[in-house]
């Protein structure tokens, strides 16, 4: 395994020079040995790092972190209490979800689907496939952003947050009362109840309605909780009428927000009175049934099920080693990039997109919006679409990373469901269907489409649109892209059928 050249002396102290590092000051990386160690660090001002997307954006916005503390037990210290952060478990009266659990896992976990399918459905609306795969419950809450989704959903569901004191002891608090200087361990959601969440008017307003509470996001400086719910709709209506003035900004006036709060609250109350929708499956944002579909997903009595083990690609990772060279800490990262071993010693602030573009010289991974929104920077980390502009390089330690250049490698022996085998098929379909013009966004679109087909060889159009939801294309038009993915799916299926026919 060879070491790639390190940054030149003229590079910024925070890492390689690129748009993804503008405004990010250097920071140290602290690998906690125990839950108490992580809690003490957060109490002393360190930032907890979960999925990391919010952390990257906060740093770009000018906030300064001297130290990040990954919320996942490093491989060298597993079993020291940190595994609780990536746990989903069933209690006598509540469901516990750890702070390090990804959005994608919350929406697909069998325990959540069996006991709080309403929470799984609400979580399915969060962000996009990349956000859901990397973002976590704790990261969403720890950003303390009034427009984020976890707080209103949990508040309306009657959940309590579990936070750790500096000595590691755990205490409970309401979602609206979580202190900023404490480590969020997870949340406990009552087994009974139902929440309906509507985020269709974000960033103007979002509303979650449960039996005993209504939570309003986006419209106030913090998530606003009304202590009345669908069990007493008249009290909800009166409380909404008595609300103080919402904030006023470039997104909406206070008057418009007030009107939309009433609209969404009324809508959610009506939806709450209707029978719940069917439970979902593991399609990372695709409901179990679609209009016209006959496919059903059974929901077992998960009281007898063990919590699903965390998928590696959906939970936060930590580097094996951090060393100091006199100019700050360096994270020693080892990964496989397009099948080839890659070892680097990178500053903790170095983004994965820079490792790929500058160190490995693979320029087809683009830097676009720098906010994990446009999809131009998409790569596959352990088969999962990942925003490399908002993922630190050390998060890919020990992972398999694929870029669009992998489509030009010799054919993989993995077979029909292998993403490397699917990549060239998708690339060919994009060329045949003229699903690109300038090509800037095309690598990200192809990679997401290949990941979709590796998981679901027969996606309907709704599933394709869901997975490509935030891969922005400004010149081609999305219909040709969708048709290209449909053609690739047919080609993958035909190839698999041909392989079966040739098998003796």
**Phi-psi region at 136: left, alpha or beta (left = phi > 0; alpha = psi -120 to 50):** beta
Residue 293, pLDDT score: 31
- Cα distances from 144 to residues 45, 66, 374, 375, in angstroms, run 15, 19, 23, 25
Cβ pair 323, 330 in contact under 8 A:
yes
Please answer whether residues 499 and 416 qualify as being in contact, where contact means their C-beta atoms are separated by less than 8 angstroms: yes
422 pLDDT band (50/70/90 cuts)?
A: very high
Please state, in angstroms and as integers, the Cα–Cα distance from residue 476 to each residue in 128, 195, 256, 385, following that order: 21, 39, 35, 22
Residue-wise pLDDT for 90-118, tens only, equals: 999 999 999 999 999 999 999 999 999 99
pLDDT per residue as tens digits for the range 138-188 = 999 998 988 999 999 999 999 999 999 999 899 999 999 989 999 999 999
Residues 305-354: tens digit of each pLDDT: 233 333 333 344 445 556 544 445 788 999 999 999 999 998 998 999 99
Average pLDDT over residues 442-456: 95
Q: What is the pTM of this model?
A: 0.83
Domains and CATH numbers, the chain: 19-78+328-402 (3.10.20.30), 87-291 (3.30.465.10), 408-502 (1.10.150.120)
In sequence order, the 6+-apart residues with CB closer than 8 A to the CB of 326 are none
Cβ of 60: how many Cβ atoms within 10 Å?
18
| Residue 150, SS3 per DSSP | helix
The pLDDT, as a whole number, for residue 31 is: 85
Q: In angstroms, what is the C-alpha Rg of the chain?
A: 23
Query: In whole angstroms, how far apart are CA 444 and each of 237, 388, 455, 467, 481?
Result: 45, 11, 17, 12, 12
């Amino acid at each position: 395994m060879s070491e790639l050249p390190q940054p030149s002396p003229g590079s910024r102290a925070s890492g390689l020079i690129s748009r993804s590092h503008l405004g990010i000051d250097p920071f140290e990386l602290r690998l906690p040995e125990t839950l108490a160690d992580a809690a003490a660090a957060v109490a002393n001002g360190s930032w907890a790092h979960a999925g990391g997307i919010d952390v990257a954006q906060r740093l770009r916005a000018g906030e300064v972190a001297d130290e990040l503390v990954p919320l996942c037990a490093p491989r060298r210290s597993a079993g020291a209490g940190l595994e609780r952060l990536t746990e989903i478990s069933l209690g006598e009266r509540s469901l516990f979800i750890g702070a390090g659990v990804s959005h994608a896992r919350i929406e697909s976990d069998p325990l959540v689907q069996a006991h709080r399918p309403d929470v799984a459905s609400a979580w399915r609306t969060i962000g996009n496939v990349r956000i859901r795969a990397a973002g976590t419950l704790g990261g969403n809450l720890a950003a303390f952003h009034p427009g984020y989704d976890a707080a209103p959903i949990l508040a309306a569901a009657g959940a309590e947050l579990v936070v750790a004191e500096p000595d590691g002891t755990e205490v409970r608090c309401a979602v609206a009362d979580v202190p900023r200087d404490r480590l969020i361990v997870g949340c406990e959601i009552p087994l009974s109840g139902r929440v309906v969440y509507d985020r269709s008017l974000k960033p103007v307003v979002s509303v979650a309605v449960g039996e005993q509470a209504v939570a309003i996001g986006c419209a106030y400086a913090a998530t606003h909780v009304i202590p009345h719910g669908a069990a007493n709709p008249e009290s909800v209506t009166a409380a909404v009428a008595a609300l103080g003035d919402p904030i006023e900004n470039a997104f909406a006036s206070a008057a418009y927000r007030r009107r939309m709060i009433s609209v969404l609250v009324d809508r959610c109350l009506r939806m709450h009175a209707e029978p719940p929708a069917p439970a979902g499956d593991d399609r990372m944002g695709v409901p179990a049934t679609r209009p016209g579909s006959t496919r059903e997903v059974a929901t077992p009595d998960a009281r007898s099920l063990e919590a699903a083990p965390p998928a590696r690609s959906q939970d936060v990772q930590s580097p094996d080693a951090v060393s100091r060279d006199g100019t700050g800490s360096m994270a020693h990262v080892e990964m496989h990039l397009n099948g080839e071993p890659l070892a680097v010693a990178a500053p903790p602030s170095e983004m994965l997109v820079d490792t790929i573009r500058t160190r490995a010289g693979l320029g087809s991974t683009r830097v676009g919006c720098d906010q994990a929104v446009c999809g131009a920077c998409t790569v596959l980390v352990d088969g999962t679409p990942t925003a490399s502009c908002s993922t630190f390089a050390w998060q890919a330690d020990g992972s398999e990373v694929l870029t669009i250049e992998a489509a030009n490698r010799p054919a993989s022996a993995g077979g029909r469901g292998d993403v490397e085998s699917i990549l060239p098929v998708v690339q060919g379909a994009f060329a045949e269907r003229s699903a690109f013009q300038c090509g800037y966004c095309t690598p990200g679109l192809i990679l997401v489409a290949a990941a979709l087909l590796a998981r679901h060889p027969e996606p309907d159009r709704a599933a394709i649109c869901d997975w490509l939801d935030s891969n922005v294309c400004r010149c081609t038009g999305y219909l040709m892209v969708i048709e290209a993915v449909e053609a690739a799916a047919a080609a993958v299926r035909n190839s698999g059928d041909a392989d079966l026919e040739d098998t003796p």
